[in-house]
């Protein structure tokens, strides 16, 4: 019997793990963003100045792996001598879980008229990160956005 269970665990890898839970509310973490990206990301000073004004603001609520609600407060951003006001925004986005491991989840969704695929990497039950930017294009600077669970 032991041999059968061992064989099954190799044939069906998902037997040994379960997906991390997205359920609940997650807040963007400016502290974790700065800690990682100051050391590892390839960001010029202008981009960094913009990013530290926008990170740590977004809140995402996941509802039963079918929907995410992304809320962003109103922001006033300084760009050189100019100030730009961005209004608050709430988006309700249907999601499909494409797959997972015990440390990551891959989602497919449509946002701003484009189909996107995102992989969330879990450090623990209360923290995940995802890469910002798109591989092979500008914006691929090894920048991570971190989220921590609030509820």
Tens digits of residue pLDDT in 50-70: 999 999 999 999 998 899 999
Q: Which pair of tokens denotes residue 9? A: 């665990």
**72 close to 60: Cβ distance less than 8 angstroms:** no
Tens digits of residue pLDDT in 82-92: 999 999 999 99
Sort strands 59-63 and 127-132 into parallel, antiparallel or unpaired: unpaired
β-partners of residue 105 are 100, 120
**Does 105 score more than 70 pLDDT?**
yes
Q: Which pair of tokens denotes residue 81? A: 């001598």
Say which range, 68-77, 84-93, 128-137, has the weakest mean pLDDT.
128-137
Tens digits of residue pLDDT in 116-128: 999 999 999 999 9
Write out the E strands in the chain: 24-28, 59-63, 67-72, 75-79, 82-86, 89-100, 104-111, 114-124, 127-132, 143-149
Locus of tokens 């989602």: 107
**33 close to 46: Cβ distance less than 8 angstroms:** no
Nearest to 60 by CA among 95, 31, 19: 95
């Amino acid at each position: 019997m032991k041999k059968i269970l061992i064989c099954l665990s190799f044939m069906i890898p998902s037997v040994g793990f379960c997906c991390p839970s997205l359920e609940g509310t997650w807040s963007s973490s400016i502290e974790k963003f700065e800690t990682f990206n100051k050391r590892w990301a390839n960001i010029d000073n202008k981009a960094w100045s913009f990013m530290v004004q926008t990170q740590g603001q977004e809140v995402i609520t996941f509802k039963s792996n079918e929907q995410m609600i992304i809320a962003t407060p109103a922001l006033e951003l300084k760009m050189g001598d100019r100030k730009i006001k961005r209004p608050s925004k709430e988006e309700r986005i249907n999601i499909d879980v494409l797959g997972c491991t015990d440390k990551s989840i891959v989602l497919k969704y449509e946002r701003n008229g484009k189909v996107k695929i995102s992989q969330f990497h879990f450090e623990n039950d209360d923290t995940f990160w995802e890469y910002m930017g798109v591989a092979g294009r500008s914006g691929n600077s090894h920048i991570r956005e971190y989220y921590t669970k609030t509820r």
